[in-house]
Structure 1
Amino acid sequence: MDIYTIGFTKKGAERFFTLLKMNEVKTLIDVRLNNASQLAGFAKKGDLTYFLRELCNIEYLHMPQLSPSEDILKGYKAKALSWTEYEVKFNTLLKNRAAESLLDEEVLEGACFLCSEHDADQCHRRLVAEYIASHSQSNVTIKHLK
């Protein structure tokens, strides 16, 4: 099973939606804590839901349960937490929230986790994808769309 991740920064709408269509994404799972970001107009919840449905026939889900807590996010942004510390805290949070039980295999097939960061290396969407993959009954391949 393939699951994907994508960030919307450093991408125009054309590139963003083309990547989703080319990879046959079925469900975009928004793992941002705040999905009304001003960073990109097309990535705000209302606009994004519309564009996904009309341009790509993709379902939209906002799952803040797969987002970092305010404390973890603030700690990292304030540089009080290193990326390594952030990873440990966030993975613990996913475990405590039983994140593996939030999505069934049917939804995961062709799913794409969305956040704002361009690169997945230091973004929680990568951690979500890896956590979900490690708890899946299926053989999961993670693909980061750029």
Structure 2
Amino acid sequence: LCSMLYYRRKILLALLEVFGGQLTAKSLQKFLFLFTRKQEIKAFDFVPYKYGCFSFQANQDIVTLSKYGYVEITTTETGRYIRLKEKNNYSAELDLFDRQSLASVKTEFGGLSQTDLIRYTYTHYPFYATKSSIAAQILTIEELDKVNAQIKTFAEPMLFTIGYESLSLESYINKLIINDVRVLCDVRKNAFSQKYGFSKSQLQQACTRVGIEYIHIPELGIDSEERQDLVSQKDYDILFAKYERTTLKTNETYLTIILNKIQEKGRVALTCFEKSPIQCHRGRVAKRLMAMPNKKFDLKNL
């Protein structure tokens, strides 16, 4: 098989194969979700979305597989369809456990209509139905109550910091949703990442799709050249002390933008790459915001 076929992409091809070579995009996402529930280390993560559980990564992989001629994507009046271009026994490329899990998903759920399949995932995994635009149409009042009980809303304003290092786009977005973050403030100088989902347009689109506002404030970033030779925590501390004396001081008006967002929306997260806030300048931005007079919010690192 072609070298661009990562293991997770082989799973997508094998899934299509097991289900006869063609699925709607919605059904594919649901079957894939149910398959990953059987995996100890999940090949894909999911977020709650307008039709329930959705993997941005799987969606992107399907586009890539289409580009390389493995699948064909067609849109009709009845929906979006993903079709295998040719059968190739992709299941044989998977390990035994995953082969058995795919067969099990086919046996358990293969007879369900798309609506029944969506309904099953909503009733058994209600968190993933919290952003659904169709839940009210297909669930009973009691089932809808269980979905609504999963929606986290908090009255108290809060400033968060979050780094995407070591997180998938989906697990990152879920952290924001669970903490009722309403605005994501990207403080990278250059909002580009080689990691899928974290370049500006991708991240902005993912946030918008789940109802989170995204803003980019490059003026509060640090040039990548200055970050090249950071080895010890002391190196980071020296860089950030300089950052506080220079960039942060000369760009205080941009702190006001963040303060206004907290005042307006209540719950705002500062984001950059590093997992640890003490190895990222977002920690110093947060520190400066926490030192503002008359602040009425607390700080939490996610």
Counterpart AA for 1:30: D
**Corresponding residue number in structure 1 for 2:186:** 30
Separation of aligned partners in 2, 1:136 and 1:59: 26
- Structure 1 residue 107: Cα displacement: 0.4
**Corresponding residue number in structure 2 for 1:53:** 208
SS at match of 1:5: strand
**Corresponding residue number in structure 2 for 1:95:** 249
Counterpart AA for 1:107: K
- Structure 1 residue 141: Cα displacement: 1.3
Separation of aligned partners in 2, 1:47 and 1:21: 17
Where does structure 1 lack aligned partners over 5 or more consecutive residues?
A: none
Residue 9 (str. 1) matches residue 165 (str. 2): yes
Segments ≥4 residues shifted beyond 4 Å: none
1:84 to 228, 232, 237: 237
SS at match of 1:82: helix
**Corresponding residue number in structure 2 for 1:74:** 225
SS at match of 2:294: coil
- Structure 1 residue 100: Cα displacement: 6.0
Bigger radius of gyration: 2
Counterpart AA for 2:174: T
Tell me how large the CA RMSD over aligned residues is. Answer: 2.0
Residue 64 (str. 1) matches residue 203 (str. 2): no
**Corresponding residue number in structure 2 for 1:115:** 272
SS at match of 1:41: coil
- Structure 1 residue 140: Cα displacement: 2.8
Deviations 1:50-88 (A, max 9, x none): 11011x2001101011112x2xx5234224982222121
**Corresponding residue number in structure 1 for 2:94:** none
Please identify, of 27-36 and 101-110, the stretch whose mean Cα deviation from structure 2 is larger. Answer: 101-110
Identity, % of aligned pairs? Answer: 25
**Corresponding residue number in structure 1 for 2:285:** 128
1:30–1:60 contact (8 Å) kept in structure 2: yes
Separation of aligned partners in 2, 1:58 and 1:136: 27
SS at match of 1:130: helix
SS at match of 1:113: strand
- TM-score, with normalisation over the residues of structure 1? 0.85
Residue 143 (str. 1) matches residue 300 (str. 2): yes
